[in-house]
A and B are shown apart, each in its own frame.
Chain A
Amino acid sequence: MQVNSPNFKAKAEAALTDPQLREALGKTRIMFVNKRAELAAALPEFEHLRDEARDRKNHILAHLDHYLERFDEAVTRAGGKVHWCADAAEARRVILDICRRVEAKSITKGKSMVSEEIGLNEALEAEGYRVLETDLGEYIIQLAHEPPSHIIAPAAHKTQEQVADLFHAAHGGPRKTTVAELVTEARLVLRDEYFRADVGITGGNFLVAETGSTVIVTNEGNGDLTQTLARVHIVTSGIERIVPTLEDVSLFLRILARSATGQETETYTTFSTGPRRPGDPDGPEEFHVVLVDNGRSGMLGGPFQDMLRCIRCGACMNHCPVYGAVGGHAYGWVYPGPMGAVLTPLFVGLDATRDLPNACTLNGRCQSVCPVRIPLPELLRELRHQQHQQGLRPPAERRALATWRFVAERPRLYQFANRVAARALKGLGGDAGRLRSLPFAEGWTAFRDLPAPEGLTFLELWQARHPGKR
């Protein structure tokens, strides 16, 4: 998928004045945030499960080679095939080869963020294959020719009215408007497609080393129809999604649904183990797991290893004030929100993604809800640090920081400068106590007034209230 992250600021500004996006994002917060909070409060074991999940993921990552090899053996035993892919290009090549060999014409897809990451649809379409997304959200954005804006609700940025327009344009007939009518229309259109598909591609929430199973966790049932009715089932998944045993699946299921959609469980949890067996009346004839590294192994042992614990629930973006203001498209690639602001620079490079780690107030809400307790703000701060070290920050910012450091290391100078600044700003603020514009802070004052300081510095106030203490 094309990287559009350099346009973050322009896209974010446009998003802030898009009324339809504001309506859609407002709903995201209500739908996901409140329900997650209710369920987290209702389960006494929840916080403990998060600790266990974090520790178990750390164990898995420390022994990732072992569990991946075990998984490969088990898939092979069940009659399937694991394709190890070092990068996105290799993953695309492997899938194209399979499609060519089985003479596929029509391909259906369940939702898979890894398939977005490797740019699969574009590659398949360039070779002349007909690719149809069957997850309703993915179907909507495929009709709109847009990338997903949320990892579990890809069309979260679209209002009901916009969906009605898209369906009307694509399906013809009278324009449907109610949610029930729109969902039914998509259901009927896609029904035929499952039955005529040659290849069905799904993601994998978990890969179980013990059994060689891939697991999808869904609500619509489209992933199941995709993988059961096609002749060939291909699973695309990242190497970090491995879990050792079925017991681990239940551990992660308990935190995944609550964190993702605010449900005790999603509607469908499906395990796929190999292809159709002798006597089976349905199911795919071939089963392939495309295991994608694409930069993940490089995160092991470094400052970003914690990010590999991510189970792709989306809670971080649901709770992020920046995501809630600008939506997912501003981030410019596959993964938006806090997890995306960490992953995108690591996957596509620090240079093309300079704004992402900085599009964060370090408020910590993401970390406070992450089911596997990834220290997202710390990782974002580390990325900022690396940007600075690699000379990727603008000269003015570097000079400003150097100046600040010079002053901050000299307490008398620092206090003097603070006193001057506080008094000057108070004067500039006038009777209103607000500043309409301020040199070097136009980014702030272009959108709102800056409240002026009241004339005394923090240290002066502290000393006034606590006489004798330093």
Chain B
Amino acid sequence: MPDSRDTILARIRAGLGRGPLPAAAGAALDARPAHTRIAFDDDLTERFITKLCSRAGSVNRLASLSEVPAAVDAYGEAHGLPPRAAVARPLAGLPWPAGLARHEGPAGKDEILSVTACLAGIAETGSILLASGPDSPTTLNFVPDHHLVVLLASQLVPDFEAAWAHLRALPGGMPRTVNIVSGPSRTGDVGLTLQLGAHGPRSLHVLLVGGDT
């Protein structure tokens, strides 16, 4: 029996009425196209906040990273959460209060709150760009009810294309999992009514550090 790969490729070429492409054609075909990007002249920070909030995300602006633990604490208190959190390793060095039970591993089934870093914030759509790796378990982005993301103002980029440049610059190339997250989880599947908190986090809260206010 012929290999299905060969069969499918042969069918494609028969349909297109040609044989295999010459090897020399490859480079031109793989070149990155310059498609139209969305034009906007808003301030990146302002646009990011407006877009994210329009998608039911929330933002708290902080002057410095050292304010993150207190902001997390205040968030937990405001939502009546128990004092425990999954805090991604890059943030472990912050001055966390002794009363907060922390772990750095992947999320367990009953994880309530996670605090993670991210690669970038995308102003075009108000989205967070997250990449998996030894220090950033993907489960932290999806299992807990509350996902808190620490974003530095310097990490804001205008659009997807700028975010791709970030991914390409990573030493290991494309990470195993890349998540672009735009607000909390939602569904329209029951009675076509929008409901937040389907399977992923019920709330997405960004701690935006630095930048002009």
Which A positions have Cβ atoms within 8 angstroms of B? 24, 27-28, 31, 43-45, 48-49, 52, 56, 62-70, 72, 78, 84-86, 90, 134-137, 140, 153-156, 158-160, 163, 179-180, 182-184, 186-187, 190-192, 195, 209-213, 219-222, 224-225, 228-229, 239, 244-251, 253-254, 261, 263-277, 279-283, 291, 293, 297-302, 305
Contact = CB atoms under 8 A, between A and B. Distances in A.
Contact of B190 (A69, A136, A283, A297): A136
B213 interface: no
Interface stretch (B3-11, B67-75, B90-98, B148-156): B3-11
19 contacts: A31-B188, A64-B12, A64-B16, A67-B29, A78-B174, A84-B3, A158-B191, A160-B190, A183-B187, A213-B178, A224-B179, A228-B138, A247-B34, A265-B55, A267-B181, A268-B179, A271-B177, A283-B138, A297-B8
Contacts of B192: 24, 27-28, 31, 153, 156
A65 to B, nearest CB: 5
B38 A254 contact: yes
Contacts of A302: 15
10 A-B pairs with the lowest CB-CB distances in the bound complex, closest first: A221-B200, A300-B15, A160-B191, A279-B134, A250-B160, A220-B198, A137-B189, A297-B11, A136-B189, A301-B15
Contact of B32 (A43, A56, A247): A247
Contact of B9 (A68, A155, A211, A250): A68
A261 B8 contact: no
B199 A187 contact: yes
Contacts of B175: 273
A298 B191 CA distance: 39
B79 interface: no
B99 interface: no
B36 A48 contact: yes
B160 A179 contact: no
B161 A191 contact: no
A228 B139 contact: yes
B16 A272 contact: no
A284 to B, nearest CB: 9
Nearest to B192: A27
Given A183-B198, A220-B199, 17 more contacts: A27-B192, A84-B7, A136-B198, A179-B191, A190-B199, A210-B30, A219-B187, A248-B35, A265-B180, A267-B182, A268-B200, A271-B178, A279-B134, A280-B133, A283-B177, A293-B8, A297-B12
A52 B177 contact: no
Contacts of A45: 36, 38-39
Contacts of B185: 219-221, 267-268
A66 B26 contact: yes
A387 B99 CA distance: 74
Interface centre among B15, B38, B173, B181 (most CB of A within 10 A): B15
Interface in B90-130: 105-107, 109, 125, 127
B35 A52 contact: yes
Contacts of B181: 267-268
B16 A220 contact: no
A156 to B, nearest CB: 7
A134 B179 CA distance: 19
B190 A179 contact: yes
Contacts of A271: 174, 177-179
Interface in B136-195: 137-139, 141-143, 159-161, 164, 167-168, 172-193, 195
Contacts of B9: 65, 68-69
A246 B163 CA distance: 10
Interface of B: 3-5, 7-9, 11-17, 20-21, 25-26, 29-30, 32-39, 51, 55, 105-107, 109, 125, 127, 132-134, 137-139, 141-143, 159-161, 164, 167-168, 172-193, 195, 197-201
Contacts, number: 265
Given A247-B35, A280-B133, A298 B15 contact: yes
Given A222-B198, A281-B106, A281-B137, A247 B33 contact: yes
Contacts of A276: 176
Contacts of A31: 188, 192
Contacts of B133: 277, 279-280
B30 A70 contact: yes
Given A69-B9, A273-B175, A253 B29 contact: no
A156 B175 CA distance: 35
A141 to B, nearest CB: 10
B64 to A, nearest CB: 28
B179 to A, nearest CB: 5
A91 B11 CA distance: 17
A264 B13 contact: no
Nearest to A213: B174
Which of A24, A136, A274 has the largest count of B CB atoms less than 10 A from its CB?
A136
Contacts of A272: 176-177
B177 A228 contact: yes
B127 to A, nearest CB: 6
A429 B168 CA distance: 73
Contacts of A265: 55, 125, 127, 180, 182
A229 B183 contact: no
Contact of B134 (A68, A250, A281): A281
Contacts of B14: 301
Contacts of A275: 176
